[in-house]
Amino acid sequence: MATNVYMEALSPTMEEGRVVKWHKRDGDPVKAGETLAEVETDKAVMDLVARADGVLRQVAAAEGQTVAVGSVVAVIAAPGESVGPSVNAPPPVTSGSGKRDTGNVVTVTAPAPVAVAPLPAAAPADATRVKASPLARRIAKEAGVDLQLVTGSGPGGRVVKKDLERTPSQGAPVASAAGAAVPSPVSRVPFPERTGAAYQDVPLTQIRKTIAKRLAASLGPIPHFFLTTEVDMERASEARDALNKQLGDQGKVSFNDIIIKATAHALTKHPACNAWFQEDHIRYWREVHIGMAVAVEDGLITPVIRNADMKPLADIGREAKELAEKARSRRLQPTDYTGSTFSVSNLGMFDIDQFTAVINPPEAGIIAVGSIVQKPVVVDGQLTARRRMRITMSCDHRVIDGATGAAFLKTLKQMLENPLAMLL
């Protein structure tokens, strides 16, 4: 009996998914557990796997198409089995521009297979069998680069973004359709050439849809207030230099790692800030899990460093680097980005002096970290240059009062200005 392949909820908040790449084509034999397709969720690119053995038939979602969770995207039939048609077709998914997507999205309420025209077989230049990251595949497709001609430098010869940045395409560096360089992790999708039109509508990606929903759910209902303090980072800078000299080739500790560690310790002293608002109650956490804001190609995601108060700085540094790399390659798993109790957003590397961050519900607070700059300050009656940094805390007033947030910031400031205070 034929088995329907459904668009599964591959993340806790997923409502729809975009098919990035089919690894199996119509007529290919499949085994249970094999990857059928790569699907872009609201958080990452994940694998849609086969739930039965057989032959893949009647693929109903083209690459690049957005499909609602629970929709049928293909059928796995036994060899030689005849698969009948289905007439249960729902309204197509609406794109971010408000226009209806007319792609073949088919949802059924009973376990009946779907009947649609199969996708055409891959052209010889298609890089379906080439090992490459989802980001590399997307860049290559937009730039017209055949991945079969690219030498991969990633694990197992996997083609990654940097391989494409140095790959020529028709005598020119790989570029977007507008002639711009390959997008950095914080850029949006490449823009097409000018055509004389006044504008172009670009559908929202899954992650950008989720960001829009989360911001609306945060800035609207949550009564934010903001507290700012300036921190002397001289001792933290000296401690970082000494630690990195001692670590040598074992890794490096960044200022962000130190801030995460200090924030986690400060939260153990002020559990009223390590909390979730839960409609009819407040949940005060005994564990400290820090959400670390990471800019990705088309948005922002906050992977979580769990029990950050209990981990050495070197471990936090290694874990933060690994999570950031997974976030930018869209390979985070749900356990990597759920469950944070407080968040840190750092834009200091972009030369931002000060900003306010939006609370990530149900958390009650987040700190926004600016750049470390030399400023003239008075120390012991003498004017001198010191490295200074501004921190702004966004507080949910339903959970954190002004004095409560101020006390937390005071403790965090003391720990950053005297790192030995974290040992107390």
Residues 135-164: pLDDT tens digits? Answer: 777 677 666 676 766 777 666 667 776 666
- Mean pLDDT within 222-249: 92
> Is pLDDT above 50 for 102?
no
Q: Residue 97: its pLDDT value, please?
A: 39
Question: Do the domains at 134-204 and 208-423 have one common CATH topology?
Answer: no
Q: Residue 323: its pLDDT value, please?
A: 94
Query: d(Cα 362, Cα 342) in Å, to the nearest integer?
Result: 9
- Mean pLDDT within 227-243: 95
**208-423 CATH:** 3.30.559.10
User: Token pair of 37, please?
Assistant: 């397709």
Query: d(Cα 381, Cα 383) in Å, to the nearest integer?
Result: 7
| Pairwise pLDDT comparison (207 vs 374), residue with the higher score | 374
Q: Residue 120: its pLDDT value, please?
A: 40
User: Token pair of 392, please?
Assistant: 């702004």
- Average pLDDT of the chain is 79
Taking only the tens place, the pLDDT of each residue in 289-298 is 999 999 887 7
Q: Residue 170: its pLDDT value, please?
A: 38
Q: Residue 169: its pLDDT value, please?
A: 41
Q: Residue 209: its pLDDT value, please?
A: 75
User: Token pair of 317, please?
Assistant: 């540094």
User: Which DSSP letter does residue 55 get?
Assistant: E
Does the 134-204 domain belong in CATH 4.10.320.10? yes
Q: Residue 241: its pLDDT value, please?
A: 93
Q: How confident is the model at residue 113 (pLDDT cuts 50, 70, 90)?
A: very low
> Is pLDDT above 70 for 46?
yes
CB 90 within 8 A of CB 7: no
- Mean pLDDT within 153-179: 53
Closest CA to 235 of 422, 48, 403, 38: 422
Q: Residue 143: its pLDDT value, please?
A: 67
What are the extents of the domains in the chain? 1-121, 134-204, 208-423
Q: Residue 132: its pLDDT value, please?
A: 77
Q: Residue 388: its pLDDT value, please?
A: 96
* Helices and strands, counts by H and E, the chain: 8, 20
CB 301 within 8 A of CB 312: no
> Is pLDDT above 70 for 100?
no
Query: d(Cα 46, Cα 10) in Å, to the nearest integer?
Result: 7
Q: Residue 129: its pLDDT value, please?
A: 58
Annotated active-site residue 397? The verdict is: yes
Q: How confident is the model at residue 373 (pLDDT cuts 50, 70, 90)?
A: very high
Taking only the tens place, the pLDDT of each residue in 193-230 is 666 676 677 777 777 777 677 767 677 788 899 999 99
Look at the chain and count its residues. 424
| Pairwise pLDDT comparison (177 vs 279), residue with the higher score | 279
Q: Catalytic one among 23, 224, 270, 397?
A: 397
- Mean pLDDT within 333-357: 93
Task: Write down the pTM of the prediction.
Answer: 0.60
CB 377 within 8 A of CB 383: yes
Q: How confident is the model at residue 110 (pLDDT cuts 50, 70, 90)?
A: very low
**Domain range 1-121, CATH architecture:** Beta Barrel (2.40)
CB 133 within 8 A of CB 159: yes
- Mean pLDDT within 71-96: 64
